[in-house]
């Protein structure tokens, strides 16, 4: 059970990282990833960029639900909630 939740957390982190890279690349206007992230942090929309990256977690969650891997889906959901809290904190400060 704990192993499956940990696998779900890893999949959620990887999916979010890939989504963040894709969002930064597509919305970056030709700039490289680090430039886009620095500009997003400076201009205050890093939380929105992280939220866009979390869209891939939705796909991973439903794949695990479809395959009846409920504990892995729980891990993806857990990391998604943690990312939502982080996004909220970014908005406050």
Are 33 and 25 within 8 A, CB to CB?
A: yes
SS3 content of the chain, % helix, strand, coil (to 5): 85, 0, 15
- Calculate the dihedral angle through the C-alpha atoms of 42, 43, 46, 47, rounding to the nearest 10 degrees: 130
Return the pLDDT at 29: 79
In tens, the pLDDT along 46-61 reads 888 888 888 999 999 9
* Domain chopping of the chain, boundaries: 2-92
| Nearest partner of 8 among 62, 68, 56, 77, judged by Cα | 77
pTM value? 0.85
Are 8 and 57 within 8 A, CB to CB?
A: no
Going by the DSSP 8-state scheme, the letter that residue 54 receives in this structure is: T
Q: How much is the mean pLDDT over the chain?
A: 89
């Amino acid at each position: 059970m704990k192993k499956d939740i940990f696998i779900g957390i890893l999949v959620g982190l990887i999916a979010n990282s890939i989504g963040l890279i894709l969002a930064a690349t597509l919305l970056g206007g030709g700039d490289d990833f680090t430039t886009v992230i620095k500009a997003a942090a400076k201009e205050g929309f890093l939380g929105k960029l992280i939220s866009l990256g979390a869209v891939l977690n939705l796909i991973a969650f439903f794949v695990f639900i479809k395959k009846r891997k409920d504990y892995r889906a729980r891990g993806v959901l857990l990391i998604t909630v943690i990312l939502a809290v982080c996004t909220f904190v970014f908005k406050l400060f």
